[in-house]
Structure 1
């Protein structure tokens, strides 16, 4: 997703105001669809398990992790490839793959078919997300471009807030509707995209990353998730668990070598030499793990312990995400007087405090308003402070022509964190149906979320610009 706006082909001429509105609408809608799938499936998790009762909770976790692993691995290479060939073609192809895979998910006859379809769905999401941003950058200019990018970016926050409520409403019909809803939306988006989008590509000659980098990400993150979610079933000293951890380490080492020595690295080494970019990525992994883990644990607690209906779960989780835009605005105002590093650290620590609050207060017979709601509001506030600052600061010291690539890498790191967070929660909740007292397992899961948020805060402390180093 290198996308230099100055180097696109002549096809990307400015469009009329009416058509520009349609362009922004369809690109934001597609990004919203991809982001929504990261949140909406959490609420469907219980009902998916009921449809496949022979599968364990650790097996069911791959419905979430398969999507995140593949999305993380392919976000950068597919975006860069589309930049070189055709952004419009890459976007429409990604949208078609995402829509068709959504139908396959809805028709899944068994769990592993669903997992495979989710992986294919992630391929489409990884293609349409970066190309949608690249098409916005080439379509708009000046202040209009800034406004358009902000609207596009806001779709992620809207998806986070709307996901649980939409998911809960659809799951009341069937969990398959979580995926079926993408089909009419996807078809409409494809039709509009074909008609209104102008093509463009990067003519700078920068080569797309080789496929090995993406493979090493899948190997490293997938093997780590496998070791974490199966560790309790297999035994932590079992050769299979040890082998999975070893594969994760080997994949990580191979990825580092590919970045350092390949002529077509997944991540340009020069980007990692930028202090704010390097530490922002490390921080977002920690915070991403905390966020994804906390969301899943909260949903499972409300469903499996308190016995909430799906729509009630969606409504009870929603106040947290609704706090995000409020505190994001406060963070933007505070940034005039306080460093982004300090704001991010505050947000991460606030999120950790919310995790600690819920693990020390919830009881099996507890009340939502006094035990879960306060933690949701606190973690939502922490997210509003931390996440926008992380995403903005990561690319703040990069030259303009590398900002979209940098943004894709940060989102890759965020998805890696999500896989870790989901896997940690599942690791503490093995075979939930057989647990007489669920509280200790959930407490350990929330402790894991708190610790990863603190680790994110620790990395954020080093996000200050290094004035002695030139931009990559």
Structure 2
């Protein structure tokens, strides 16, 4: 129910009439939908070695299983935020939920990596339709004094789902990798029933649709991501004819610059109204959100490969390494959300970034082929604490300066930039990992060769020539063969040395790849420290009187 206000006081953007129902009643379907969305940003990582084996793919191809999802998710968030303003958050959320649930079923039924990538792209469309509506509804339904607590639950869902992805994946992969997608179907059905019953029909606004902006953003992001992710496959040289990887990336950057200029030209009718970024904290929250999502991709993709290949863990055991962190994230996030209503959110966000920066650097330092498991569980527990401090306070900072007219566009912009961090993170981490594998595995092979008898060294090093080192991310010594003339006892020595070289080279490659994530998190920390220190709801914008009256909405029967 709307909060009474003194006569003549302006109505705030968030107050709506739910006809006696508590605003908390809208959270279950929103949180279930958002749980699935965030779960699927990381759940695939635990299945990477399995997908490589069972679908006959390489690291770059399986990387596109994540990137296709993140790419369609990111580039469509701008237009789906506007769709929520135009048609209302409720119908757009419902359509997205149906698409996501059906696409999840299609993912599980895919028999080839190409079909899986296509289904994941469709799944990203559903995610893009739902995500801005979750933030928009919370912003418009909850009064300012309670919004931080609501965002705390929203943030807890984001943090727990992101970290739980690998854990749940580890439980499901032994049943068949398709189950990491089938699990969404019953959750989606429950969320749909709850959404039909509880989500209110909010006022809409006439909006124009920027087709040129959509085309520029999609083309620009695709060219940049394709170039980064596939660069190592083409040895960072020519792709088609005279077109090189760097030229492709350069064209993508130019197209994205054209997109920004076009958005500036359109003003308030733009997909991403640039005047939103005139607010300092909104701009910094967008950058920080991108850094967080980059970190999630930047740690889980290489880390799960390391656990299963270098340490020989099963998917379930690898997943359990992150279980304490997942639990702690769920405990910390609601507390952080409520705290952001009482103290400046910048300090909460900065604390989270400081923890994550230290934790990922810690992991990078301890990773090795003989690392005890508890040396990894402890920092991952702190990783969960760090993420718990970030999601809800960041969302609170980003939305606190928005009025209801721009709630959808603002939520779309924030989530777009957050997901762009994941897209770029996925591409950059895969590029870095594949590049380091090509350096570190041959270097480790040279070291191992020195431990072999002299007559075994030449066939050992010869066997490592012209191998696709990224294939070792599936485990074993696939593609490693020796001449039949090599005696059996010598061949056994060589095979053992080869496994040691692969484990050592992979461990070093993962360690070096994590340093990229450390650098991005450090930039996120600087961004958080640059925010203005204020309690968000003390700066709530007011809506014009006519729009305040329109905020009285009908809840669904």
Q: Give the aligned partner of residue 290 of structure 1.
A: 295
**Alpha-carbon offset, residue 167 of structure 1:** 1.6
Q: Does residue 1:388 correspond to 2:392, yes or no?
A: yes
> Aligned pair in 2 of structure 1 residues 7, 37: CA closer, same or farther (>3 Å)?
same
- Do the aligned residues in 2 keep the contact of 1:69 with 1:221 (CA within 8 Å)? yes
Contact 2:85 2:408 survives alignment (8 Å): no
Please say if 1:42 is aligned against 2:45: yes
> Residue deviations 1:30-76, cap 9 Å, x none?
222222211222222222222211x2211111111111111111123
User: Where do 1:72-471 residues align within 5 Å?
Assistant: 72-135=74-137, 148-203=150-205, 205=206, 207-238=207-238, 239-263=243-267, 264-328=269-333, 339-370=344-375, 372-399=376-403, 401-430=405-434, 431-434=469-472, 436=502, 437-464=505-532
CA distance in 2 between partners of 1:348 and 1:143 (Å)? 25
Deviates more, 1:104-113 or 1:209-218: 209-218
2:553 is aligned to none
**2: CA distance between counterparts of 1:144 and 1:122?**
31
- CA RMSD across the alignment: 3.2
1:2-13 matches, cutoff 5 A: none
Following TM superposition, by how much is the alpha carbon of 1:182 offset from its aligned partner in structure 2, in angstroms?
Answer: 1.8
Counterpart CA distance in 1 for 2:341 and 2:148 is 19
What CA distance in whole angstroms lies between the structure 1 residues aligned with 2:146 and 2:386? 30
Q: Give the drift of 1:215.
A: 3.0
For structure 1, which segment, 192-201 or 245-254, has the greater mean C-alpha deviation from structure 2 after superposition?
A: 192-201
123 and 304 in structure 1: CA distance in 2 versus 1, 3 angstrom threshold: same
Which one is further off, 187-196 or 309-318? 187-196
The secondary structure found in structure 1 opposite 2:531 is coil
- CA apart distance, 1:208: 4.7
Distance change in 2, residues 1:449/1:96 (3 Å): same
Report the Cα distance in structure 2 between the residues aligned to 1:14 and 1:326, rounded to whole angstroms.
Answer: 29
Kept after mapping to 1: 8 A contact 2:293/2:425: yes
Distance in 2 (CA, whole Å) between partners of 1:348 and 1:275 is 19
Q: How much has 1:220 moved relative to structure 2?
A: 2.8
Distance in 2 of aligned mates of 1:145 and 1:471: 14
Q: 1:337: Cα distance to partner?
A: 9.1
Q: Which has the larger radius of gyration?
A: 2
Contact 1:428/1:442 (<8 A) preserved: no
Write the deviation string for residues 357-407 of structure 1: whole angstroms up to 9, x where unpaired: 12221211221102x123313333332334433332223344455345323
Residue 243 of structure 1: how far off its partner (Å): 2.7
What is the Cα deviation at residue 210 of structure 1? 1.1
Q: CA deviation at 1:334?
A: 7.2
State the shift of 1:249 in Å: 0.9
List gaps (5 residues or longer) in structure 1. Answer: none
Which shows bigger deviation, 355-364 or 179-188? Answer: 179-188
Distance apart, 1:279 and its partner CA: 1.9
Q: Is the 8 A contact 1:88 1:199 kept in 2?
A: yes
| Distance change in 2, residues 1:330/1:191 (3 Å) | closer
Aligned residues of 2:322 and 2:380 also touching (Cα < 8 A) = yes
8 Å contact 1:27–1:136 — kept in the other structure? no
Residue 145 (structure 1) shift:
6.6
Alignment check: 8 A CA contact 2:108 2:181 kept: yes
Is the CA contact 1:317–1:376 (under 8 Å) kept in the aligned structure 2? Answer: yes
Q: What is the distance in 1 between the residues matched to 2:30 and 2:516?
A: 36
1:247-298 per-residue CA deviation (whole Å, 9 max, x = no partner) reads 3212221221122112531211211111111122123223321232112222
Moved more, 107-116 or 183-192: 183-192
The CA distance in 2 between the partners of 1:36 and 1:240, in whole Å, is 35
Indicate conservation of the 8 Å contact 1:168/1:310, yes or no. Answer: yes
**Structure 1, 433-442 or 252-261: larger mean CA deviation:** 433-442
Aligned residues: 459
Q: TM-score by structure 1 length?
A: 0.86
CA 1:196 to 1:471, structure 2 compared with 1: closer, same or farther past 3 Å?
closer
